[in-house]
């Protein structure tokens, strides 16, 4: 924002598009500009434009009471204007401070909301971790059960293998005896 923007005045359409922080910054800039203008006016009081010098403004004891009353009467509008400007300046400062306090309170509320959201996220995460722990325990117990079943299966396979070998060996013996008996019968029959 420039001095030309202040002289032109606030643009209502641009004010609607401003964020609250930009509006506050614009207000601060306008206040600072008004304060600077006020200080220039205050510094101008008592200069050449005002015909009195500081020594003329101070009443002397040798002068008549009417002169000092006249000087006081002349300075009354300036004093009133200065006090009015000081009051306006203080009002502007109070408004600015209230706006800053409101902005800080809004920021604090936003931080509180974000903290509450983070708290909810962590609670949900804790529930998920607990549930995953139960699932992992189930998987671990299933793996242990599978390992036990595999060990029993190996034992059963070893027994079955021995049983098959013994049955096969027994069948060979029976077959060998049968062949010997058959050969003996054939020899006896032939002879």
DSSP the chain: --HHHHHH---HHHHHHS-HHHHHHHHHHHHHHHHHHHHHHHHHTTSTTS---HHHHSPPSSS-HHHHHHHHHHHHHHHHHHHHHHHHHHHHHHHHHHHHHHHHHHHHHHHHHHHHHHHHHHHHHHHHHHHHHHHHHHHHHHHHHHHHHHHHHHHHHHHHHHHHHHHHHHHHHHHHHHHHHHHHHHHHHH-
Q: What's the average pLDDT block by block, 10 residues per block, for the chain (191 residues)?
A: 48 59 82 82 63 48 50 78 89 90 90 90 87 81 88 89 82 90 89 78
Task: Please tell me the predicted confidence (pLDDT) of residue 181.
Answer: 92
Task: Please tell me the predicted confidence (pLDDT) of residue 25.
Answer: 79
Task: Please tell me the predicted confidence (pLDDT) of residue 46.
Answer: 59
Whether the model clears a pTM of 0.85, i.e. scores above it, the answer is no
């Amino acid at each position: 924002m420039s001095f030309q923007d202040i002289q032109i005045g606030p643009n209502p359409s641009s004010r609607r598009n401003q964020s609250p922080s930009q509006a506050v910054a614009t207000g601060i800039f306008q206040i600072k500009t008004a304060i600077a203008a006020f200080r220039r006016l205050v510094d101008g009081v008592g200069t050449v434009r005002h015909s009195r010098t500081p020594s003329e403004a101070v009443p002397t004891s040798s002068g008549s009471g009417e002169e000092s009353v006249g000087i006081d009467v002349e300075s009354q509008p300036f004093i009133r204007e200065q006090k009015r400007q000081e009051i306006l300046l203080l009002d502007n400062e109070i408004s600015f401070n209230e706006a800053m306090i409101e902005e800080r309170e809004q920021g604090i509320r936003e931080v509180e909301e974000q903290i509450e959201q983070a708290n909810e996220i962590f609670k949900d995460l804790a529930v998920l971790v607990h549930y995953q722990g139960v699932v992992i325990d189930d998987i671990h117990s299933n793996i242990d059960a599978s390992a036990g079943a595999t060990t029993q299966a190996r034992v059963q396979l070893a027994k079955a293998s021995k049983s098959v070998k013994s049955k096969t060996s027994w069948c060979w013996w029976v077959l060998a005896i049968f062949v010997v008996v058959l050969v003996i019968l054939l020899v006896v029959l032939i002879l």
